[in-house]
A and B are shown apart, each in its own frame.
Chain A
Amino acid sequence: MSLVLEARHIEGGYNLGAGFLKAVDNCDLYAYEGEIVGVAGESGCGKSTLAKLIMGFTKPPLKLVGGKSIVDGIDIYGLSWKERRSLWGKVVTMIPQASMNALNPTKRIRDIIFDVVKEKFPIPPSKSEVLDMAKKRFEEIGLDPVALSMYPIELSGGMKQRAVIAVSTLLNPSFLIADEPTSALDVSTQKLLLELLYTLVRKKIVKTLIFISHDIVTLRQICDKMCIMYAGEILEISDTEAIMNRPLHPYTKGLMESVISLSPSIRKTTLKGIPGAPPNLLNPPSGCRFHPRCPYAMPVCRKKEPSLREVEEGRFVACWLHLR
């Protein structure tokens, strides 16, 4: 299996008037061909920023301050902004939140597609070529090509989703990033989208998918690997099943104990949640960033920051409980 994403020591943040807010600190993330990697974390943990830094979308005030990101063999930060722009859509594509409503309502789907293609090529391919490509992709993801000549408003929610995905994968990007694609959808539409994303990777339409969400229950449905972020750092990376069965980091454990999952016993269980609030990143706590909320905090946690280490085979965690 080849490495599709190799992000090393990524560090970056936002230039605010009051100072530099380091939203992402020293994050390593690898993804192999055929893998779906879930990135989980609560609001403000830096997961969306990490995605932007990975694809080189450093539009001010966002800035990369360290590390490198290699996508499908291309060193993103070895390229100029303009060169990077031309990669988006062709090598790496992001499906943003609320993307279903991103389709221009005054244009037919095929015209939207022509626009996208035109923007990405210096010499655009002919319309009939593009149309053939689009038809093929529509069929692959189970959408009637008739939709090509329809307006977004004529499509149902599920069809619209498929259309968005078809448009964003039209140029065969090897690497797809989906940022909270399922929030704000009702559960049935959510399920359809999950199936669609799963199909994309399994059918090798895209090589790798990074799926960002605050909801680990959604992630666990399709992700092979899961990466837990907190306050700008990665605390744990493991196989999904391993994390589900035995979370190592106290934060991951806390997250699992916050999940309200539908089951007959749910009424009788008392979930705990995680008391306290995430730290202010302008002034992060010393040592481990989770220590003020951690029930297992030890003196060392306050002083030294643990780094992400492999503690068992395939299990990486940044916590003094597991580092010796």
Chain B
Amino acid sequence: MLRVENLTKIFRTGFLGKGEEIIAVNEVSFLLRKGEILSLIGESGSGKTTVARLILKLLRPTSGHIYYKDTDIWDIPSKTYWRKIQAIFQDPYASFNSFYKVDRILKNVFKLFPDKISEEEKDRKIYEVLERIGLDPKEVLGKHPFELSGGQMQRLLLARCLIIDPEVIIADEPTSMIDASMRVILLNILKELSNKAGKSIIFITHDISQAFYVSDRVLVMYRGRIVESDSVEHILFSPQHPYTKRLISDVPKLHEKFKFTLT
């Protein structure tokens, strides 16, 4: 589906970019296959969100290429590309423009399609997608974002993706701001999208447990580089990089207690 080759992004600061250089993403390469969920794990500042923005054509890479079905994504017209690659972001509260009702964000996506779509057709599509994702259209449509819960908003944003019906969904920390009981439900929807609808998903997270719950393969990013890339089982039983090892040993587990010794 997607092939990322030697992707590098350097941010420059100062007048005409004469200031400091920050290497956010450093020579990153990976492959995304059809129908799989690939997790990108990293702490804040590891460059994982920059990778997402590069894939979404929201940023231009400093060097390196991203290929969608063997075509460089910068050679594909943006509107065509965004019909194939969509995203859901971390902060549901910032994803909605609080100035408008939530319907707007769903209706806006029809602009990606070249053909004119009638209002009834739009409404029909919206209803269909909302029901597919377990949201009652009567409960969410016509409301302002602040009237909804974080979980409802994130599902609406996923519904937004599904209206477009892309082949790839980039999910950038979609669960970090919603409650645990809702988190699982959202992750289950993602799993189903990959299993049943054959969507390819890049799941970006700082939480290794969530990554292991949803994905087939895992990439671990540390300071702009991919330091580990393997199947979930391999990484869990034989992590190679010290960062991954630390991540696995330090994450609290439900059926184990940390052993602290008093010094």
Chain A residues near B (Cβ < 8 Å): 42-43, 142, 186-188, 190-191, 194-195, 198-199, 202-203, 214-218, 220-222, 244, 254-264, 266-267, 270-275, 277-278
Contact = CB atoms under 8 A, between A and B. Distances in A.
A263 B253 contact: yes
Contacts of B209: 260-262, 266
Interface string B123-138: 0000000000010000
Contacts of A217: 252-254
A187 B250 contact: yes
Nearest to B236: A264
B251 A260 contact: no
A186 B258 contact: no
B184 A262 contact: no
B27 interface: no
B182 interface: yes
Contact of A261 (B151, B237, B248, B253): B253
Contacts of A263: 253, 255
A261 B180 contact: no
B232 interface: yes
Contacts of B251: 187, 262
B195 to A, nearest CB: 11
Contact of A220 (B151, B188, B210, B257): B257
B250 A260 contact: no
Nearest to A217: B252
B41 to A, nearest CB: 11
A248 to B, nearest CB: 17
Contact of B43 (A186, A195, A270): A186
Contact of A190 (B180, B250, B257): B250
Given A199-B262, A271-B188, A258 B181 contact: yes
Contact of A273 (B181, B207, B260): B181
B246 interface: yes
Contacts of A266: 209, 212-213
23 contacts: A43-B150, A142-B263, A187-B208, A187-B246, A187-B247, A187-B252, A188-B250, A195-B260, A198-B260, A202-B262, A214-B179, A220-B252, A221-B252, A256-B254, A258-B180, A260-B213, A264-B236, A266-B209, A266-B212, A270-B188, A271-B184, A271-B187, A275-B134
Contact of B262 (A186, A203, A254, A267): A203
A214 B251 CA distance: 16
A307 to B, nearest CB: 24
Contacts, number: 116
Interface residues of B, number: 41
Contacts of B247: 187-188
Given A255-B180, A258-B183, A267 B213 contact: yes
Contact of A260 (B149, B179, B210, B232): B210
Q: Which 10 A-B pairs have the closest CB atoms?
A: A273-B184, A274-B181, A261-B254, A42-B179, A273-B185, A187-B250, A262-B209, A271-B184, A258-B180, A258-B181
A188 B246 contact: yes
Contacts of B44: 186
B236 A272 contact: no
Contacts of B185: 273, 275
A43 B254 contact: no
Contacts of B72: none
Contact of A194 (B187, B258, B263): B258
Which of A186, A214, A257, A272 has its CB near the most chain B CB atoms (within 10 A)?
A186
Contact of A262 (B248, B260, B262): B248
A273 B188 contact: yes
Which of B152, B179, B184, B252 has its CB near the most chain A CB atoms (within 10 A)?
B252
Contacts of B210: 260
B233 interface: yes
Contact of B181 (A190, A255, A270): A255
Interface string B108-147: 0000000000000000000000000010000000000000
A112 B247 CA distance: 33
A262 B208 contact: yes
A217 B254 CA distance: 5
Given A186-B206, A272-B184, A43 B253 contact: no
A210 to B, nearest CB: 19
Contacts of A264: 233, 236-237
Contacts of A278: 149
A216 B181 CA distance: 12
A221 B236 CA distance: 21
A218 B250 CA distance: 11
